[in-house]
Structure 1
C-alpha cells in the first residue's frame, strides 16, 4: 500500500520564499548587469548589393546593355557592359538658355539669395515646359544629369518635374503627349531645405515651443536627377546621342529657377578600404587627436529637407538633455516624422580650432518603431557620400537609447573632416537593403490586384460558391490565375527569407507575407475555393500595401552626436533601472498638478486686454493644431493687436454647458456648422455682423453697415475671402453669428489608371453616371455615393442636397419657416437619389477608401479632403487617381449645373465676453488670408500632407501646395458650392430625410409619397421650435 506524502505548510512557505528570493536575485543581477552595459554599437554599414531593384528603369538599362526586349527577364543587369563614356569635363548649360512652351510666368530673372549672392536664372512656375540644348556630347552613351536650382517659395511642397530627353515639343498643342526614356522620369522631385526660424524658447507655462520652420534660399543647391522614393540608390542615367541633345522639364508642382544644368559621366563609388588608402597617401593614416570631443545636440540641426523634421521632446530617459519630469523639453530630432526616403537632416561641426584629419562619428539614437527591423541612413560629409559603405548605416531596433558609431561589423569608420572651418554631417533616410524586397512586393501587389479585378469581373463581389466560373484550367475565363498565384507565392517566400536574412532575425514584419503566401498556395491546391475566399484575398492584398508603408517608414530619433578620436570616451547611452524608475515615479505624481488643457504662448503685453480662446477638438484635430495656433498668436496676433490670449484645448461638448455656467471662453474655434444658429437661438453667442469691419472680412453688406458707410470695396476685383456659400449656415434672424473656419465640398475621385486601361470617360452629368454604372457592372465594379447619417458638422445628405440645388431647389421657403421638400424639384432629386440604391444596387455601407485603393470602386464621390487620408492610407496608388468635378444636371437653357452642398466649421464669439472688440479682432485675424496660410503651412510642416487644412479662406487655399490642375478643379467646384441654411428645428430635416430614404430603399415604398409624409413631420417640428423661440 502506497504511503501518503504529507507536505507541511511551513515547507510550502519555505519553497515560496525560496522561489521569490531566486526571482529577486535574478532580477537584481539582470538590472545590475544592464546598468554596466554602455549600449554602444557599430552601425554595421554595408555597401548595397543591388543598386536598381527591377522596374522600367532597369529594363531601359538592359536594353542599352544589348539585351533583346523579349529576353529582359532572362539576363541580369551588368554595369560593365553598359555604354558609359567618360567626359573630359562636365557639360554645363546656362539656365537662362531655355525655350519655353505653354508656360505661365516663365522668364529670366536675377535672384539674390539670403547671403547676398546674385545670379541669373530661368524661372519656371507650376505649369509649362522649358527646353535646353545639351551641346556637343562627344560619344553616345549613358550620362548623369544634375541641376543647380533655386527653390521659389510657393506652397512649400517638394518641387516636381517631368523629364524628357530629345523630344520635339509642339508649340501649338498644349495637350500633346511626349515619351519619357523610362517611366520613373514622369515625376522627379527636387528638395527644399528648411531651418529653424529662431531658437527654442519657453512659453508662459514653461514648456519649450517648437520654432517655426523657414525655408533656406540658396542659389548653390545642386541635385542629381534621382529616385526620391528610395528604391534606386544612385542617380539616374540618361541616354544621350553623339552631338546635340535636348532636355525638357515639365512643371508639375511648385516653382523653381534653374541656374544651370550639368551633364557628367558615371563614376563608381570607392570602398572604405580605398577611401582610407587615399587619405593615407595624403598623410592621414591614423585617427587624429581632438583637443576635446565635439558634442552636438540633435535638435540643433542646421537644416533639413522637410519642415516636419523639427525638434521634438523625448521624456523616456533622464539622460536626455535638456529634460524635465513633466514639462515639455525639445531635446531630440526625427522620431516618427523622419521616415520618408530622401528626407535628410544636417548638422554643422565646428572644426575651426581643430586639425584636419580622420575622426569617428557616433550618434545617441533610438529606433523603437519597427521591431525586428533596422532603419537605414545614408551618410554625407560636406555634401558628399565619402565611400560606398556610407550608403547603408544601420540603426537597429531598441526600446532604449543606444550610441551607434558608424562602422562595419568589426571596426568604426574614420571620416575626413577639414580643420579650420565648419564641416557638415548629414543623414538621409533610405530604404537601403529593404528596397529590393519592397520593390518585389509592390510587383506582387500589382499582379494580384490586376488578377483580382479580372476575377471579380467574372464572379462579381458576391460570387455563388456552387457555380463554376471557369477561373482556371481549360476554357478559363480568366487567363493565368493559378500560374500567377504560384509565381507570387514563390516571390513572397523569397522576400520573407530576404527580410529575415537582412534583419538577422524573424520578426512580425513577415507575418502578412506568410499569410498571403499560404493563401496563394492553398488556392493553387484547391482552386474551386477561389470564389469563396475572395473577400479574405482582398483583405490580405490590402494588408500587403500596408506592409510596404510600414517597412518604408524607417523612423529614427537622434538625441545627440559626437565627433571623437577614441572609442573609450563615449558616455553611457541610457539610464539604469534605478534612475529610470525614480524619474518615472516623480513624473507620475507631478502630472497630477499639471494643466494639460492650457496651451502656453510666448508673447505677453501689459495692455489690460486679455481674452480666452478655446480650440474644440474633433476626430481630425487636437493638440498639434492648438500648438500651431499658439505659435501664430505669439508671433503675430499679440504683437500686432496688443492682446494677450489664453488658449485651451477642450472637447466640443463642454462649450455650451460652460458658457451657460459663466465659465466659458470669449472665442471658440472649430465649432461645427450647425451649432452657431443653435447657440444664437439661446442667446449664447454674439451677432458679429454689427462690427465695423464685417463687410471687409466677409463681403456681406448688412443694413447697419450700409447705413454706417462701411460697405466699400475690400479687395480688388471683388476677390473676397470666402465663397458665397460659406456664411449661409451662420445667418439667423437677420444677423450673422460666426465666421467660417473650414469648408468642405464634394468632388469625384477617379482611378484614372483603370479608366484609361478600360477606355472609359469620366462622367459630367448624372445621366452619364447612369450609363457608366452599366459599364462598371459588366466588370462587376461599382460607383460610390456616400450615405452618412446627419450630424451637426455635416450638411444633410450632401448627394441629395447637390441634386436638389442642381435643379434650382432649396431646403426651405417662406423665410426658412417651412420645408421645401414637397416641391417638384425636391421630389425629382429624391427619386433620382433613391434610384441608385433601388435600381442599381449601390451599397448602403461600404469603405470607399478600401475599395478605391483596390480598384473595386474606381470612381466615387466624397469630400475633397479625402486627399489627406489617401496620402497616408494608400500611398501605393499615388499618381493613379485624380479629382473631377461633380456630375451635373442640364437646365432648361442647356446650361450644366454641377452645384454641390458645402459643409464646414466656424469661429464664434460667446455672449458673455467682457471685451467684444478684442474678441472681434481675434476672429478677423484668425480667418484672414495671412493667418490661414501660415496655419495651414505650419500644420503641413508638422504633420505632412495628410494634415492639409481645408481652410474656408479662398485666398489662403490658393497658397497651399496643390498642383495647378488640382487647384483649378477644386476652385471650380468650390465656386459652385451652395450653403445650407440652419433653422430652428432643422435637425429634423436631416433625421427625417434619412428616414424617408431608408424607408424607400429598405421597404420599396413610393419615393414621392414617402417624402411627403416626412415633410409634414419636418414642418411640425420647425413650427414648434419657432414658437418656442418667439419667431412666430
Structure 2
C-alpha cells in the first residue's frame, strides 16, 4: 500500500510538470500561428452629427485658407472682466476666477482659423482647465465641442525613487504638477480631430469670447492662425545632414519626464525580460497598464543622447487587445516632425514586440535627434472619430424607434395582438436596411484600421448587432415582441454597440522601454526563451512556500485585515498602516485582498476568519451580526467619540437589537445630474420638487429626451435604493411600529407607490435605460438621479462634456409642517435618499478585538481618511476618488467645492432603511408590485394587498426563527427597530 501511494505521488508530480510545461508553451504562443497585420488608413465618408463639429466642418470646410495667416494678440490687448488687471509686467493675465475675456481680431481674408493659446497651468488639483469659445456676441458656441475645451496640466512623479512596502514590492509615488509654459492649438476635449478646432471668421473685425469654466492658468498670448500644413517624411529627411554613427541606448518608458494626465500611471509586469525585474517582488516597471489608452494621453521623455544624427526609435511594447491596431502620434520638442508621424501603428501580438516607429506601409522611419531633445508619444484616436460618431447616430436612431414602438403598444406584447408595423412606420424596411448597410460599412473601416483577418471583439459585437436587426427584418410585425433584439436589455443591438463605443476610441499599449538606435538589427530579443520561462515558473512556485509576501495568513503577532477592494487600495492601506498605525501603536497589521465578501461567511464557518474586514457590503453587518458572527462595537472603549464623524442615519443599516455590528467606511450619494448646456437651450430650470419634474417632462419629450430615475435601471429587481426614497419622501412607512410586520399598505406608502408607477404609465419615463451615463453623455437623457459611480464616470470617462454638467439636490415632495414653538406652518421639501455602501467589521471569534477596534478607530479617523484619500488621488489620479463615510474628512477633501457642498447638503437628507429579519421579502414584493403595475397594468391596491400577505407570512417565520414570536405568533420579546432617536443615545454617552 505504501508503494502505491508513493507511485501515485510521483505520477501526480510528473503530470503536474507536463501540464505546466504545456501551459507555458501555450502561453508563449508555440501552438498558435501568428498573423502579420496589414492596417490601412481609411475612414468613413462624411459623417455629420447635428450640432457638432463634424456638421460645422461640413458647412464651412470649403473655407479652408491655403495661405498662411497669423494674428497675435498679446496680453495687453485682452479685454478683461471688470476689475481685473494683468500681472505687473503686463505680459500675462492670471486667470483664477471663472469669467470671460474678449479678443478683437481684424481678419483680412474670411475663412477657417485655429486658436492657439500660450499659457502656464496654475491648477494644483486634478480638475482640468475648461474653456468655452463663442464668436461675435453669439449666445452659444458655434458647435458642441467649442463648449467643452480642456487645456492640459502636466504631471510628474515627485520622486525618482520608488517607495516599497514591507515585502519590498514597489509602491507608486505621488505625482505633482510639472510647471512649464505650453503653446497649444485649441482641440476638442477628446482629441478626435488632428488639426484642432477651426472657427469661421468673417472679413473685418471679429470678437472672440473665451470663457473659463474651471481650473486656473496664466494666459500669455493668443494667436489666430490658418491651418498648419506639415511636410512629408520625404521632405523631412532632406532637411538634415546625414551623419553615420553606431549607437544604441535603452530608456525605461515608466521613467518619463512628464505626462499630460495624472491617470497615466506605472504598471506591473512579471516577465523575466522586463526591467527592472525581480523573481519574487512586484516592480512598477511598465507604462500603460489600465491607463495611457485614452485619445490625447501623452507621455514625454528626455532623450539623453551623445551626438546629433538620424536615429530609429523602437518601443518594446505589448498590445494585448486581440486583432486590433492602436495608433500613436510622435512629437519632437512639442512639434510634429512630419505628416506621417500622426498615425503610427502598434499592432496586436501575443508576445512582447520591438515596434520600430514606422509608417502605415511598415517602412521604418528615421528621426533626427539632438542632445537634450524631448520626444512625446500621444495616443491617437483621430482615425476612429467618424466611426464613433456614426455609431452614436445609429444607436440613437435605434433607441428612438424602440421608444416609439413602446409608446405605440404601451408595452402590451400579447401574442394575440397582430401589429401591422408599416401602418405606423411606413419607412421601417428602409430604416432597418440602412442600419445594416451602415454597420457593415463601419465594420469594414474597422477591419482596415486594425489590419487583421480575424475580427476583433468590437467588430464581432457589431456583427451580433447586425444579426439582431436582420432577425427583425425577417418579420417586422413581430417588432413589438422583439424589442429585446433592438433596444432593450443587455443583449440588444443598441447595448452591444453602445458597450463598444468607448473601446473604439481606446488605444491600449503597454510599454516597457524604448531604444534610440542606428542599426535596425541591433536590438535585444523582447521575449524570454522557453527554458527561461520554465525556470522562472518553477522557481516562483517553490519560492512561494518561503516568501512571506505570498502568504495571505497573518502571523501570530499580526492583526489580520481582509479588504474587499482592488490591489491598488490594498497596497496603499498596508503601506499607510505600516508607516502610521504600527509606528503609533506597535500593533503589526497584515492586510490581504479578497475579491468577494461572500467568502467571509465560509471563512467564519471554517474558523479561518480575519480579525477585521474592510470594504464589505453595507448589508453584511446586520445579517452577520444577528447570527452572532460579529463583535458589537457599541461596547468598545471610546465608541461614542469615534462615531461623532458619522451622520446617525449611516449607522441604521448596521444596527440590530440595539447593537452596532459595523462602521460605515464609504458612503454612496445620490444627487441630481443635469446638462447645463441642454437645459439652457431648452429654457428649463433645475427642478426642486417632483412637481417641477412633472412640469418639465412634456418639454423634454417634445425634443425626444427624458428624465432618469434609478427605477429605470436595467435590473428587474427594484431595490430599496430606488423605491424607499419615494416612500420616505411621501412620509410613508415600510415597517409597522413594532417592526414585526410590514406597513406597505399605509396610505402615504400607497401614494408613493402610485406616484412611482404613474411616472411610467402617465408621464412616459423610459422603462429601461441600459446606461444612464451614456444617455446623459450623448444628450438623450440630459437630467436624472445618479450616484457616486456616475460621478466617477463623468469625471474620468466623459471629457467630451467636461464643464457642461452640474449636480444639484435631488427633487423632493413638498410638505406643510406645523412648528409648535413658533405656532406657524412652513413648507419643507423632503429629499430623503439612501446611501449605505461599504462597511468595516470585527469578527466575534477574533482574539484581538481590542487591537481590531483600535485599528478601525484609526482607519476611520479624519486624519487617516484624509491621508489615504490624498495619497490615492495624487498617486493614481481621479479614478481613485475616495468617498469616505467620515463626513469631516469628506468636507476637507480637495473635490470641486460647489459639488462637495451639494453632496454634503444632500447627505443631511440621508434616510436609510432599517434591516429586520426577513426584510428582503419586503424589498422583493415592493419591486414585484411596481413591475406588475407598470408592465402588466395590474391594480395597485389589490397587488399591494396580495403582497402584504406574502410579506407578513415570511416575516412571521423569520421572527419565530430569531425568537421574537412563538409558533402561535405571540410576542416573546419586543423587536427594537433602529431609529435615529435610539442611535443618538450613543452619541450623547
Normalized against structure 1, the TM-score is what?
Answer: 0.74
Aligned to 1:900: 833
- 1:949-988 equivalence runs, <5 A: 949-954=882-887, 956-957=889-890, 967=900, 969-981=902-914, 986-988=916-918
- The question of 1:232 aligning with 2:193 is answered yes
2:483 maps to: 534
Is the counterpart of residue 142 in structure 1 residue 112 in structure 2? yes
Q: Cα distance 1:928–1:131, how it changes in 2: closer, same or farther (>3 A)?
A: farther
- Aligned residue runs from structure 1 range 614-1013, under 5 A: 614-617=561-564, 621-634=565-578, 637=581, 644-650=588-594, 652-653=597-598, 665-676=610-621, 682=628, 684-685=630-631, 687=633, 695=641, 698-699=643-644, 721-730=645-654, 738-747=662-671, 764-765=688-689, 786=711, 797-808=720-731, 818=739, 822=743, 826-830=746-750, 832-833=752-753, 836=756, 848-850=769-771, 863-868=787-792, 885-893=809-817, 894-908=827-841, 922-929=855-862, 931-933=864-866, 935-936=868-869, 948-954=881-887, 956-957=889-890, 967=900, 969-981=902-914, 986-992=916-922, 994-995=924-925, 998=928, 1005=942, 1007=944, 1011=948
Identify the match of residue 367 of structure 2 among 412, 415, 419.
Answer: 415
1:386 aligns with 2:350: no
Pairing 1:402–2:358 present? no
Instruction: Give the CA deviation at 1:813.
Output: 8.7
Aligned to 1:211: 172
Q: Does residue 579 of structure 1 match 2:532?
A: yes
The match for 1:561 is: 514
Whether the 8 Å contact between 1:784 and 1:859 is mirrored in structure 2 is no
Moved more, 679-688 or 669-678: 679-688
**2:148–2:800 Cα contact (<8 Å) kept:** no
> Cα deviations across residues 311-349 of structure 1 (Å, max 9, x unaligned)?
21223x432223344542332111342221011122221
Q: CA deviation at 1:87?
A: 4.5
CA distance in 1, matches of 2:601, 2:610: 10
Distance 1:451 1:40 in 2: 41
Structure-2 residue corresponding to 1:443: 393
Q: Hey, what's the Cα distance between the residues in 2 that align with 1:229 and 1:1000?
A: 40
Q: What is the CA-CA distance between 1:418 and the residue it aligns to? A: 1.9
User: Could you tell me whether the CA contact under 8 Å between 2:600 and 2:609 is conserved in 1?
Assistant: yes
Residue 365 (structure 1) aligned to one of 302, 317, 341: 317
Matched, 1:311 2:261: no
Contact 1:380 1:427 in 2 (8 A): yes
Partners of 1:531 and 1:952 lie apart in 2 by 45
Deviations 1:234-264 (A, max 9, x none): 1222334566544434444444443443434
Indicate how the Cα distance of structure 1 residues 235 and 863 shifts in structure 2: closer, same or farther if over 3 A, else same. closer
Structure 1 segment 6-85 matched on structure 2, within 5 A: 54-55=48-49, 56-64=52-60, 77-78=61-62, 81-83=63-65
Task: Determine if contact 1:363/1:405 at 8 Å carries over to the other structure.
Answer: yes
Shift of 1:431: 1.8
Shift in Å, 1:277: 1.6
The whole-number CA distance in structure 2 between the counterparts of 1:799 and 1:482 is 39
C-alpha distance in structure 2 between counterparts of 1:1019 and 1:366, whole Å: 60
- In 1, Cα distance between the equivalents of 2:873 and 2:229? 38
SS of equivalent to 1:299:
coil
Q: CA deviation at 1:374?
A: 0.8
- Establish whether residue 551 from structure 1 lines up as the match of residue 500 from structure 2: no
Superposed counterparts of 1:582-601, under 5 Å = 582-588=535-541, 590-591=543-544
Distance 1:780 1:150, change over 3 A: closer
Distance in structure 2 (CA, Å) of the matches to 1:274 and 1:195? 35
2:68 to 75, 78, 86: 86
Q: Which residue of 2 aligns with 1:498?
A: 445
3-state SS of 1:646 partner? strand
Residue 430 of structure 1 deviates from its aligned partner by 1.0
Q: How far did residue 135 of structure 1 move?
A: 5.1
What is the SS of the residue equivalent to 2:770?
Answer: helix
Matched, 1:508 2:490: no
Partner of 1:115: none
* Structure 2 Cα separation of the partners of residues 926 and 94 of structure 1: 52
405 and 100 in structure 1: CA distance in 2 versus 1, 3 angstrom threshold: farther
d(CA) in 2 for partners of 1:260, 1:635? 47
- Give the CA deviation at 1:566: 1.6
Q: Using a 3 Å threshold, how does the CA distance of structure 1 residues 1008 and 491 change in structure 2: closer, same or farther?
A: closer
1:124 and 1:47, CA in 2 relative to 1: closer, same or farther beyond 3 A? farther
Structure 1 residue 555 displacement after superposition:
0.8
Closer, same or farther in 2 for the Cα pair 1:285/1:164, shift >3 Å? Answer: same
1:414 Cα offset (Å): 2.0
Number of equivalences:
910
Alignment CA distance shift 1:909-1:362 (3 Å): same
SS at match of 2:336: coil
**Secondary structure, aligned partner of 2:500:** helix
Cα 1:733–1:458 shift into 2, 3 Å: closer
Change (3 A) 1:945 1:261: same
Distance across 2 between alignment mates of 1:672 and 1:345: 38
**Contact in 1 for aligned 2:610/2:846 (Cα 8 Å):** yes
- Paired with 1:849 and 1:879, the residues of 2 have a C-alpha distance of 24
Alignment partners' CA distance in 1, 2:313 and 2:557: 50
Mark the CA change 1:679 to 1:480 in structure 2 (over 3 Å): closer, same or farther.
closer
Distance 1:630 1:145, change over 3 A: farther
Q: Deviations over 1:602-649 (max 9, x none)?
A: xxxxxx9975252332xxx33232123234445655567666432122
Q: Residue in 2 aligned with 1:166?
A: 136
Distance 1:208 1:51 in 2: 51
- Residues 829-871 of structure 1 deviation map (CA, whole Å, 9 limit, x = unaligned): 1553267459966999986435885699987656443445688
Q: Deviations over 1:462-516 (max 9, x none)?
A: 55677676654xxx54475444434333333333332333333333233344444
Give the 3 Å change call, closer, same or farther, for CA 897–136 of structure 1 in structure 2.
same
Pairwise CA distance, 1:157: 3.7
Measured in 2, the distance between the counterparts of 1:59 and 1:744 equals: 40
1:199–1:211 Cα contact (<8 Å) kept = no
- Cα offsets for 1:993-1026 (capped at 9, x unmatched): 6457757976964746964895697589669557
RMSD of the alignment, in Å?
5.2
User: C-alpha separation between the residues in 2 aligned to 1:788 and 1:213?
Assistant: 37
Residue pair 1:163, 1:185 contacting (<8 A) in 2 also: yes
Q: Indicate conservation of the 8 Å contact 1:298/1:559, yes or no.
A: yes
Q: Tell me the CA shift for residue 526 of structure 1.
A: 5.7
Mapped partners of 1:323, 1:296: distance in 2? 15
| 8 Å Cα contact 1:204-1:600 kept in structure 2 | no
Offset of 1:297 from its aligned partner? 1.5
Bigger shift: residues 204-213 or 524-533: 524-533
SS of 1:270's equivalent in the other structure is coil
Give the match's secondary structure for 1:895.
Answer: strand
Residue 390 and residue 1006 in structure 1: after superposition, are their counterparts in 2 closer, same or farther (change >3 A)?
closer
Q: Is the 8 A contact 2:760 2:766 kept in 1?
A: no
Inter-partner Cα distance in structure 2 for 1:572 and 1:121: 52
Closer, same or farther in 2 for the Cα pair 1:787/1:347, shift >3 Å? closer
Deviations 1:717-762 (A, max 9, x none): xxxx544433444567877665431112444567899999999987
Q: Where do 1:156-305 residues align within 5 Å?
A: 156-167=126-137, 178-199=139-160, 201=162, 203=164, 206-241=167-202, 245-279=206-240, 284-290=241-247, 293-305=248-260
Inter-partner Cα distance in structure 1 for 2:45 and 2:116: 19
